[in-house]
Each structure stands twice: as C-alpha cells, then as structure tokens.
C-alpha cells in the first residue's frame, strides 16, 4: 500500500510554509504539480497518472487539485489543507500582489494599481469569485466559478474539513501542525513540522482582529459590509476549523493520543 500526502494549497493560507515542511522532510520524494493555466485544474485522473509515473513520490502540493480526495487501488491518500479567516486572507492577498506582482493576473494588476480600500471595492464589482466564499467553494464545489454558495454548500465544506487528515488554520498555525504531525506520525514517524511561517505578506504581526480592523478602516462602510456578507459562510467554515483543530490538539495534549488519519480514506481505498 502506498501512502501519499496531498497538500491542497490555497493561496495565502500558509501554503509556502507547508511546502517547505514537505520539501525538508521528503526531499526528492516531494513534488509540486500545477498546470500552466492559472485558472486550470489538475483532475484526480491526471494526479493519479502523475503519481504512477513517479512511483517514488510520497507528498505532492498543488494549487489546482480539488476535493474529493482520489480513490485508487494501492493508494491511501492523506489530505492536508490550511484555511484562513477570509477577510485576513483578502488583506494578505492584496499585500502579496503589491510585493510580488504576477504578470497577466487581473487580481494582481488590480492590487498594484489600487489602494486597499479600492482593491476590495473593485474586486467585489469586477471579480467577486476571488473575494467571496472562496474556501467554501473550493472544499464543497471544487472551486466552480460563478457558484453562489448556500447553506448546503457550507455544510458540505464543513464535512470535507472535518474529514481532512491534516486540517489547519493560519491563526492557529502551531496548534495545527502539532495536531497534524501527530495524526501522520504513525505512517511517517520521522515527519517534523516545526517551522515558523514563511512568505508572510504584510506580516502576521498583531492579532487577526487588529489586521482586520485595518482592512475595515481602509474600506468604505458599505463596501466593508458587503465584503463581510459575501464571506459569511467562509467565516463560519473557519470557525468550525478552529474548533476542529482545538479538538484534535486536546486529544494530543491531554490523552497523549496518536490518532489515525480519518477512516474515510482508509476504507475507501480498495
């Protein structure tokens, strides 16, 4: 049986840090896979073909793989995904593209030519798919553009999150990696996740609340209110993820537990 970690890399959700951890632990047994198209996706069939051609790989990271986790004979996949407060994520995305513009990316161009407040207002008007329920859509609907999530989508995203082998939240980073490493250690006993965040745009100084307060101050009141409305489900998902990280960490700290990856992936792989 071949165990493979799949890192579902969501932009500005500590993905570079996780990639560094995987690279440090697995070296040549770790790979990144994305298509040249910034809006492309790597299907599960393409991912499986890639893994079959590279039988040495034990960990893969991609911005373009999507849930559900693939099911294939001879494989057990362990999914890894970090979530983030949606408003803090939008602020960080703006800072990131201001610091590292990406040629041809409309969101990057918008950031480089706008103040933070204008960036939010114009993104809501011109490209709401980038600033509205992004994480719920990715977990529940494979990131389908133009879909407006409802309560059923949120509930589906929460189920996916709770079944994720290694779930993390950016503002609970150290708690997340402590719990996640414990989950994976029976399979990867030499895995070490002790690392400070890297590629931090605009810094993670202060609290989430203080960083969001700066975002609020930069926006017109009506714009900020609309941004909050457009991310109510994402915020609910992240709150549930914080609780899940806390639950897993409590098992580690108070019961010295080494709990296995969720049985969904074990039982589904025939």
Its domain, for residue 40, covers: 2-268
pLDDT digits (tens, 9 = 90+) for 196-211: 666 555 556 689 999 9
pLDDT digits (tens, 9 = 90+) for 104-117: 999 999 999 999 99
Alpha-carbon distance of 24 to 40, in angstroms, equals 27
The mean of the pLDDT values for the chain is 91
pLDDT over threshold 90, residue 154: yes
* pLDDT score of 195: 72
Query: Would you place residue 264 in the very low, low, confident or very high pLDDT band (cuts 50, 70, 90)?
Result: very low
Alpha-carbon distance of 239 to 231, in angstroms, equals 12
Q: Which of 124, 127, 157, 153 is nearest to 139 (CA)?
A: 157
Phi-psi sector, 233: left (phi>0), alpha (psi -120 to 50), beta: alpha
* pLDDT score of 262: 44
What is this structure's pTM? 0.91
The values of phi and psi at residue 80, to 5°, are -130, 125
Query: Would you place residue 250 in the very low, low, confident or very high pLDDT band (cuts 50, 70, 90)?
Result: very high
CATH code for the domain in which residue 139 is found: 3.40.50.300
Q: For residue 83, what is the enclosing H or E element? A: strand 75-83
Query: Would you place residue 259 in the very low, low, confident or very high pLDDT band (cuts 50, 70, 90)?
Result: very low
Least confident of 9-18, 130-139, 186-195: 186-195
pLDDT over threshold 80, residue 266: no
> DSSP for 136-189?
HHHHHHTT-TT----HHHHHHHHHHHHH-SEEEEGGGHHHHHHHHHHHHTTTST
> Which is higher by pLDDT, 178 or 195?
178
Query: Would you place residue 265 in the very low, low, confident or very high pLDDT band (cuts 50, 70, 90)?
Result: very low
Quote the number of domains for the chain. Answer: 1
Q: Give the percent of the chain with pLDDT over 90.
A: 83
pLDDT over threshold 60, residue 261: no
Match 């996916």 to its residue by tokens: 160
* pLDDT score of 253: 84
Query: Would you place residue 144 in the very low, low, confident or very high pLDDT band (cuts 50, 70, 90)?
Result: confident
């Amino acid at each position: 049986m071949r165990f493979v970690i799949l890192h579902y890399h969501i932009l500005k959700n500590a993905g570079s840090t996780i990639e560094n951890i995987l690279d440090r632990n697995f070296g040549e047994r770790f790979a990144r896979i994305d298509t040249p198209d910034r809006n492309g996706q790597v299907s599960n069939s393409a991912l499986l073909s890639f893994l079959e051609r590279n039988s040495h790989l034990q960990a893969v990271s991609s911005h373009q793989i999507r849930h559900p986790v693939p099911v294939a004979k001879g494989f057990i996949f362990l999914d890894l995904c970090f979530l983030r407060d949606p408003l803090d994520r939008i602020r960080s995305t703006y800072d990131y593209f201001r610091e590292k513009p990406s040629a041809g990316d409309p969101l990057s161009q918008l950031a480089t030519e706008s103040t933070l407040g204008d960036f939010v207002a114009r993104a809501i008007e011109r490209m709401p798919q980038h600033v509205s329920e992004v994480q719920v859509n990715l977990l529940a609907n494979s990131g389908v553009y133009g879909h407006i999530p409802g309560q059923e989508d949120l509930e589906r995203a929460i189920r996916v999150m709770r079944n994720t082998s290694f779930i993390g939240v950016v503002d609970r980073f150290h708690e997340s990696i402590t719990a996640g490493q414990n989950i994976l250690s029976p399979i990867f006993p030499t895995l070490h996740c002790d690392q400070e965040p890297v590629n931090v745009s605009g810094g993670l100084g202060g609290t989430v609340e203080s960083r969001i307060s700066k975002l609020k101050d930069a926006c017109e009141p009506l714009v900020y209110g609309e941004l909050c409305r457009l991310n109510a489900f994402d915020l609910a998902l992240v709150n549930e993820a914080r609780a899940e990280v806390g639950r897993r960490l409590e098992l580690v700290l108070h019961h010295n537990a080494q709990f296995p990856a969720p049985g969904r992936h074990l039982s589904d792989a025939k």
